[in-house]
Amino acid sequence: MSQSWSMSWLTVPTPLPSGPMHIAVTPLGVAAAGYGERAGESPRCTDESKTAAVTDRIGEYLSGRRRELGLPIDWSLSTGPHRAVLRTLLSVVPYGRTITYGELAARSGVFEDVAEPGLAARTVGQMMAANPVALLVPCHRVVAADGIGGFGGGRVGIDVKRWLLTLEGVLEPTLDWNGPL
């Protein structure tokens, strides 16, 4: 029953190619998480315990000291099939694993009546791009059948996806890898 008026925002510094993350919290949990700082998000979160929990857990995850964020999620910004696909992703794809867009479509059960080849996979791709709680619901773990696939944010988004998949051991580090060893 969270409303947008009850959201407050915080910025979490990260080593990601996109820079800091912007996070919205409500009394129920994290309602929004995105890559790159956004100016003008208000009101700012003044709850020091929430700010510390979110900042510490994201920092531990991105430094390789935590495999699950363990933060409560406020699902109010996703509904219907989108929420079902996101919940499926969260429950079936653990740290260090990936799933294709088509496999996630099939596992979610949302697209059983879709007959057009590739439509369900493309729709899942669009759903991942619209994931309101990025990182908490690990859309970076959803890949194309023939490669890494896309990620919101253009080139920087793909760099974030590669960074996260390298952190989780899915991809081998490149010479310019700046993450934890």
What amino acid positions are annotated as catalytic residues? 139
State the chain's maximal CA–CA distance in angstroms.
Answer: 50
State the SS3 of 8-77.
EEEEECCCCCCCCEEEEEECCEEEEEEECCCCCCCCECCCHHHHHHHHHHHHHHHCCCCCCCCCCECHHH
How many Å apart are CA 21 and CA 85, to the nearest integer?
A: 23
How far apart, in whole angstroms, are the C-alpha atoms of residue 69 and residue 66? 7
Rounded Cα distance, 148 and 158, in Å:
8
Q: Show Cβ contacts of residue 68 under 8 Å, excluding neighbours closer than 6 positions.
A: 61, 95
Sheet holding 21-26, edge to edge: 8-12, 21-26, 29-35
